[in-house]
Chain A
């Protein structure tokens, strides 16, 4: 154990460790808990463990950020489900108002055929919304989300300042997210 901890971190581990604050934010947001809550800590540690063990599943060219945020989301949802189950086992001790929010927000992880059909429609709609975005926003969004470029790289590619890239991505993402939530 000592040797494992003392071993020098490779690039993947370093990059993943740099994302810890973001993972904490994601877990806190899913769990609706303070970022200092022990459950948030546990979720972040579990996310890091799964990421390090499953690093081989990260496809070439796939951005680490998106992949690891996806793991954090699932880990936090699992934690929220465990919380709900524990509270159901002890109904007298639970405060219903604090749990209802989490319980209501947890979706069933297994998509039904209807979910899959809806998802397919959603993809098609999102693609058309993407094409309706102003050209600069679309180019920034595609470069960031699909090509996996950083803001700095996009700025160089489109020859615009970082602030402009950030604004385009923020606006483009908001439009797309509103469309995803429209159902």
Chain B
């Protein structure tokens, strides 16, 4: 290893001393402690070494944290459940109104009164009897809960990215 560069220590020797490695000839060590110029260079290199070391360790910890961190997936299952509940609850009404809807499609000139009538019929179908009201309430509550869960899971998914 080249230790001297003229009257001063070589870059390599300074680097070893800056990293506090006991691999340099004692004569070079004595010179470093008595030469202000070499001492300053060692100080600069030690600071550089410290900064690089800190940055590398932090970077490594950050990437490990990212790798080990919990990954929040998009709540596909929740959305599918919500959609299933919505379809199941709306199915009786849809089945009931589908033939009429087809008829309505062919009755374009009379569309406005027909839409009004069907809306009235739809409201009536939900409000008739206690079972209709219970189904309506339960489905609304379930959908609201699922909506909340989806919003919560989505915000976690966004934050984890």
Contact = CB atoms under 8 A, between A and B. Distances in A.
Interface of A: 18-19, 21-22, 24-30, 34-36, 63, 65-66, 69-70, 73, 119-120, 122-124, 126-127, 130, 141-142, 144-146, 150-152, 161-163, 166-167, 169-170, 173, 176-177, 180
Given A123-B55, A145-B57, A146-B56, A151 B47 contact: no
B62 interface: yes
A126 B21 contact: no
Contact of B43 (A30, A166, A167): A30
Tell me which of B1, B12, B36, B39 has the highest count of chain A C-beta atoms within 10 A of its own C-beta.
B39
B46 A25 contact: yes
27 contacts: A21-B32, A22-B17, A22-B18, A22-B42, A25-B39, A25-B43, A27-B43, A29-B40, A35-B36, A66-B53, A69-B49, A123-B55, A123-B58, A123-B59, A126-B56, A127-B59, A146-B60, A150-B21, A151-B16, A151-B19, A151-B23, A161-B1, A162-B1, A166-B15, A166-B23, A167-B12, A177-B51
A18 B21 CA distance: 11
A26 B56 CA distance: 20
A148 to B, nearest CB: 9
B154 to A, nearest CB: 24
Interface string B1-41: 10000000001100111111101000001001100100110
Given A22-B42, A35-B40, 19 more contacts: A21-B33, A22-B17, A25-B40, A26-B43, A29-B42, A35-B36, A66-B53, A130-B59, A145-B49, A146-B56, A146-B57, A151-B19, A151-B23, A152-B23, A162-B1, A166-B23, A169-B19, A173-B15, A180-B51
Contacts, number: 120
Interface residues of B, number: 37
B68 to A, nearest CB: 16
Contact of A126 (B16, B17, B48, B55): B55
Contact of A144 (B12, B19, B29, B32): B19
B23 to A, nearest CB: 5
Contacts of A35: 36, 39-40
B141 to A, nearest CB: 42
B46 A22 contact: yes
Nearest to A130: B56
